[in-house]
Amino acid sequence: NAGVTQTPKFRILKIGQSMTLQCTQDMNHNYMYWYRQDPGMGLKLIYYSVGAGITDKGEVPNGYNVSRSTTEDFPLRLELAAPSQTSVYFCASRGEGYEQYFGPGTRLTVT
Amino acid sequence: EDKVVQSPLSLVVHEGDTVTLNCSYEVTNFRSLLWYKQEKKAPTFLFMLTSSGIEKKSGRLSSILDKKELFSILNITATQTGDSAIYLCAVERGGGKLIFGQGTELSVKP
């Protein structure tokens, strides 16, 4: 059982480039989340989704976009990458219970 | 604005000590409070609390919620070096949104 998978694990971007962080879960969870974690800080919610076709902004959505065309996938798009987007990105999913399952994270550096 | 505040931000103890980590919150439409442990990778779930005054316990870890005073504590007794980690508190509000605190970094020395 794969759980929540994220790709890539690491990425270096130049300022102004774009990329998509992939997230897939195989637990048929309705809720999915994207967080970023800066060094020494907690998790900041970027976007979340309560089901296919439904997305909503979190605390720090600027510079990001998401889509949720299927239950399984919740990609995060960065347009015009900036150094302030250097962070570790975690995707998570949750079913009708309260436990969130986290992916392994993507470490992104923008230079 | 919703916020979750943890204290202390960092803590250094010796093996065998007991520690108490704090989490206070101001969140509209509160649904639950969750504790996670993070050891250099993705967070792992510890507890979920929804009702005041009911202690959740797992081994040496326990947690309790006070919905009147809007806070929760996480206790760890007889600490071990393997307890060294960042402990994260999160509050779920209606609609599925989770707000995390900044975390408490615990270091347990032998």
**Arithmetic mean of pLDDT, A15-35:** 95
pLDDT of residue A99: 78
Q: How confident is the model at residue A92 (pLDDT cuts 50, 70, 90)?
A: very high
**Arithmetic mean of pLDDT, A29-33:** 94
Whether residue B96 is contained in a domain is answered as: no
Across the interface, whether the CB atoms of B99 and A59 are under 8 A apart is answered yes
Whether residue B16 is contained in a domain is answered as: yes
| Tens digit of each residue's pLDDT (9 = 90 or more) over B26-58 | 998 899 999 999 998 899 989 999 988 889 999
**Arithmetic mean of pLDDT, A6-32:** 95
Across the interface, whether the CB atoms of B6 and A42 are under 8 A apart is answered yes
Nearest chain B residue to A57, by CA: B97
Domain that includes residue B47, residue range: 1-63+79-87
**Arithmetic mean of pLDDT, A32-52:** 92
By CB neighbour count within 10 A (0-12 exposed, 13-18 middle, 19+ buried), where does B71 fall? middle
* Cα–Cα nearest to B83, from B105, B56, B101: B105
Whether residue B73 is contained in a domain is answered as: no
* B58–chain A Cβ distance below 8 A for any pair: no
CATH assignment of the domain containing B13: 2.60.40.10
**Arithmetic mean of pLDDT, B94-101:** 84
| Cβ atoms within 10 Å, residue A7 | 13
* Residue in B45, B98, B102 closest to A33 by CB: B98
Question: What is the percent of chain A with per-residue pLDDT over 90, rounded to a whole number?
Answer: 86
Which residues does chain B have within 8 Å of residue A100's beta carbon, measured at their own beta carbons? 34, 43, 45, 98
User: Which residue would you say has higher pLDDT here, A97 or B6?
Assistant: B6
Whether residue B21 is contained in a domain is answered as: yes
* Residue in B32, B34, B43 closest to A102 by CB: B43
Whether residue B3 is contained in a domain is answered as: yes
Number of domains in chain B: 1
Asked whether residue A31 carries a pLDDT value surpassing 90, the answer given is: yes
Eight-class DSSP state of B81: G
Asked whether residue A98 carries a pLDDT value surpassing 90, the answer given is: no
pLDDT of residue A1: 60
pLDDT of residue B61: 97
Asked whether residue A86 carries a pLDDT value surpassing 90, the answer given is: yes
Whether residue B95 is contained in a domain is answered as: no
Which residues does chain B have within 8 Å of residue A35's beta carbon, measured at their own beta carbons? 100
List the beta strands (DSSP E) in A1-111: 4-7, 10-13, 19-25, 31-37, 43-51, 54-57, 64-66, 76-78, 87-94, 100-102, 106-110
pLDDT of residue A95: 83
* Cα–Cα nearest to A70, from A100, A32, A36: A32
Whether residue B99 is contained in a domain is answered as: no
Q: Sketch out chain A's domains with CATH numbers.
A: 4-96 (2.60.40.10)
| Tens digit of each residue's pLDDT (9 = 90 or more) over B57-97 | 999 999 999 999 999 999 999 999 999 999 999 998 877 78
Whether residue B31 is contained in a domain is answered as: yes
Which residues does chain B have within 8 Å of residue A59's beta carbon, measured at their own beta carbons? 99
